[in-house]
């Protein structure tokens, strides 16, 4: 029994038909795996490799090259704040600090104790006329201020309405334990000297 569901494995096996060569299916396949698991574990990468009939080392080599693949746990909601020059000139550095403080993480890539958030400084996201900006939950958020960041975060940790909470308690459900992540280096380096 693998870490990826049979359904996802099926979808991955269907991908190569869209391309002239099977390797082109690696990134869409890793997307499906990451979508299901939150991040790419070694087992998940091996299963992707097996489903596509490729070498696991090859698949891992692709996964570790691209910024949007995560090989370590990340928050359910990822705040990708642009800190490149156009956003920096409009206050991005202070906003990054603010976002990290608000979700309660010390390092970039660290997951907040409730498992909900991680914050990363990223390179230009191509929406410079709206600087400072960030990407959160597959959408861009523009003209950021500390208040805007606060409310985007608050919306995502709003407790369930009282009735739903009572029903949950009655059913004996508990909050899942927070995911613990190792703090890692501030910037993901693809090419260290």
Residues that bind another protein (CB under 8 A): 18-28, 31, 61-62, 65-69, 80, 83-86, 88-90, 122-131, 135, 138-140, 142, 187-193
Query: From the CB of 140, what's the least distance to another protein, in Å?
Result: 7
Q: What does the alpha-carbon distance between residue 76 and residue 55 come to, in Å, rounded to a whole number?
A: 30
For another protein, the closer CB: 4 or 26: 26
* Exposure on the CB side of residue 82, measured as CA atoms within 13 A: 25
- 3-class secondary-structure state, position 179: coil
What ranges make up the beta strands (E) of 117-168? Answer: 117-122, 134-136, 139-141
For another protein, the closer CB: 157 or 187: 187
Query: From the CB of 20, what's the least distance to another protein, in Å?
Result: 5
Query: From the CB of 178, what's the least distance to another protein, in Å?
Result: 26
Q: What does the buried/exposed string (b/e) look like for 115-131 if buried means 16 or more CB atoms within 10 Å of the residue's CB?
A: bbbbbbbbeebebbebb
Query: From the CB of 81, what's the least distance to another protein, in Å?
Result: 12
For another protein, the closer CB: 76 or 114: 76
Q: What does the alpha-carbon distance between residue 48 and residue 62 come to, in Å, rounded to a whole number?
A: 12
Query: From the CB of 80, what's the least distance to another protein, in Å?
Result: 8
H/E run at residue 137: none
For another protein, the closer CB: 114 or 156: 156
Q: What does the alpha-carbon distance between residue 36 and residue 153 come to, in Å, rounded to a whole number?
A: 23
For another protein, the closer CB: 13 or 114: 13
């Amino acid at each position: 029994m693998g870490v990826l569901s049979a359904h996802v494995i099926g979808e991955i096996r269907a991908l190569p038909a869209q391309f002239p060569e099977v390797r082109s299916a690696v990134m869409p396949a890793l997307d499906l795996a990451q979508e299901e698991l939150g991040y790419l574990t070694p087992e998940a990468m091996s299963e992707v490799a097996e489903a596509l009939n490729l070498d696991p080392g090859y698949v891992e080599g692709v996964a570790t090259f691209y910024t949007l693949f995560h090989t370590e746990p990340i928050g359910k909601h990822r705040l990708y704040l642009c800190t490149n020059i156009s956003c920096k000139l409009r206050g991005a550095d202070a906003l990054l600090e603010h976002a990290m403080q608000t979700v309660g993480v010390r390092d970039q890539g660290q997951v907040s104790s409730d498992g909900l958030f991680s914050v990363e400084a990223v390179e230009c996201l191509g929406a410079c006329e709206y600087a400072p900006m960030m990407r959160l939950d597959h959408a861009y958020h523009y003209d950021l201020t500390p208040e805007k960041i606060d409310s985007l975060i608050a919306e995502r940790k709003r407790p369930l309405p009282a009735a739903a909470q009572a029903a949950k308690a009655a059913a004996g459900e508990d909050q899942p334990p927070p995911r613990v992540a190792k703090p890692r280096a501030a910037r993901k380096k693809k090419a260290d000297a």
